[in-house]
Amino acid sequence: MTTLADAMHPGRPRAVLALADGTVFRGWGFGARGTAVGEVVFNTCMTGYQEILTDPSYHRQIVVMTPVQIGNTGVNSRDEESSRPWVSGFVVRESSRIFSNWRAGGGMESYLERHGIPGIEGIDTRALTRRIRDKGAQGGAIGVGDPDEKGLVEAARSWGSMVGKDLVREVTPEKEYTWTEGPFHPLRGTGPSGGKYHVVAVDYRIQRNILRELSGVGCRVTVVPAATGSERILGLKPDGVFLSNGPGDPEPLGYAVSTIRDLFGKVPIFGICLGHQILGLALGGRTCKLDFGHHGGNHPVRNLSTGRIEITSQNHGFVVDPESLLRAGQRVEVTHVNLNDQTVEGIRHLQFPAFSVQYHPEASPGPHDSGYLFEEFTRMMDEFSGK
């Protein structure tokens, strides 16, 4: 029997989102048919959904968008942060069937269908977001087409937790490569790349705009897989080493931590997001999981050296424990603090040339308040090498 709600979603298959705590949300599917399982998190960005879909840090996660309508600007080849979407599933209040943008090459729904990613719309995303915020991120399962609610609840419960999962090995590239593209402007196109510095970027699954921003401040970038050892990295004769973002729990990444420890004092190091957490572990610290993480483009961070408030783009579920750094006896200072929950957003070593931030200064999507950090990295390389 066709209901009024069905009539408001013509042609849509029935869909269900089930959470590990037994909560079930019923709606209508878009994108691919089938089932998706992962950790359910919410993102507060008003724009930039294509960059979010293609951010590898969302590997094995189901992303809930808090704005009411998503998809109205379509998708295009320039806004992809990697070669494909990485989210397991996508949840929106309303998926726009109509897209209008001069850069658009297609619609979001067909894009997700082409890549085999199920989506669900027509649910109360406000209630879902409040549940995640109050109860914490948890396993979830989307079923599109012929959803089995009990089976989806069991799938969500069986998924477990991000804690202890090394997801980097599932996403890191197999081979080294050279990045040659400079910053991109929608009207001016691609800017110049390369220049004064040679940077080795350790790829825990990097976003493309990070590489563009490095190129934009005069860096020639060689990208290496996550398990690359210090001997190979130093053999490339870099002026600096960049530690990228990536998915999952940093604590299982002992191979990455060991490599970074071997690099201390030998080359300047700059890390962001997962790279920040790995740097913290290499300094003897510990990391812990946040209840629902930081995902969005509007997180306020205080720069403790200047007092300036930066509005930042963030996507992470783990943070560095500042007390653990003190217990480790390292000469480390906290440089940035999150104003929402006082978690650590940046650290700097006081002896070795190494610093990191928890957020995304390349801002794709997000504000550009923190772009100065790439120039700070070049100044560190200048001071270390005497250039």
Domain boundaries, the chain: 4-159, 168-385
CA angle 174/37/142 to nearest 5° reads: 135
Cα 114–chain centre separation: 22
Q: How far apart are the first and last CA of the chain?
A: 74
Question: Amino acid identity of 196?
Answer: K
Contact status, residue 118 vs residue 29, Cβ threshold 8 Å: yes
Residues 73, 101 contacting (CB under 8 angstroms): yes
Which tokens belong to 248? 């999952």
Which residue's structure tokens are 């560190």? 380
pLDDT for 157: 97
Per-residue DSSP letter, 87: -
What are the structure tokens assigned to 98, written together?
């109509």
The answer to whether the Cα torsion of 90, 92, 98, 104 is positive or negative is negative
Residue whose structure tokens are 């390349």: 362
pLDDT at position 180 is 85
CB 223, CB 201: distance < 8 Å: yes
pTM of the model: 0.94
Sign of the C-alpha dihedral, residues 325, 326, 328, 333? Answer: positive
What pLDDT, on the 0 to 100 scale, is given for residue 194?
62
CA 218 to each of CA 25, 85, 153, 273, 371: distance values in angstroms, whole numbers, following the listed order: 49, 29, 50, 22, 14
**Calpha distance 380→352 (Å, rounded):** 10
d(CA 75, CA 95): 13
Domain 4-159 class, CATH top level: alpha beta
Which residue, among 136, 130, 164, has the nearest Cα to 39 in the 3D structure?
A: 136
CA dihedral 361, 286, 353, 313 (to 10 degrees): 0
- Pair type for strands 287-303 and 309-320: antiparallel
Distance CA 119, CA 62 (A): 9
The pLDDT of residue 224 is: 98
Q: What is the mean pLDDT of each run of 10 residues along the chain (387 residues)?
A: 60 94 97 97 95 96 97 94 96 96 95 98 98 96 95 97 95 95 64 79 96 94 98 98 97 98 98 98 96 95 96 96 87 96 97 96 88 96 84
CA diameter of the chain: 76
Spatial CB neighbours of 123, under 8 Å, sequence gap ≥ 6:
17, 25, 26, 27, 91, 93
The residues that are catalytic are 273, 360, 362
Helix (H, G, I), strand (E, B) or coil at 350: coil
Alpha helices in the chain (DSSP H): 4-7, 49-53, 108-114, 125-135, 149-159, 168-171, 208-216, 230-235, 254-263, 274-282, 322-327, 372-385
Per-residue confidence (pLDDT) for residue 373, from 0 to 100: 96
Question: What pLDDT does 191 receive?
Answer: 56
CB within 8 Å of 223: residues ≥ 6 apart? 173, 176, 177, 178, 179, 200, 201, 203, 206, 211
Q: Which two tokens stand for residue 138?
A: 């948890």
CATH domain 168-385 topology: Rossmann fold (3.40.50)
pLDDT of residue 184: 67
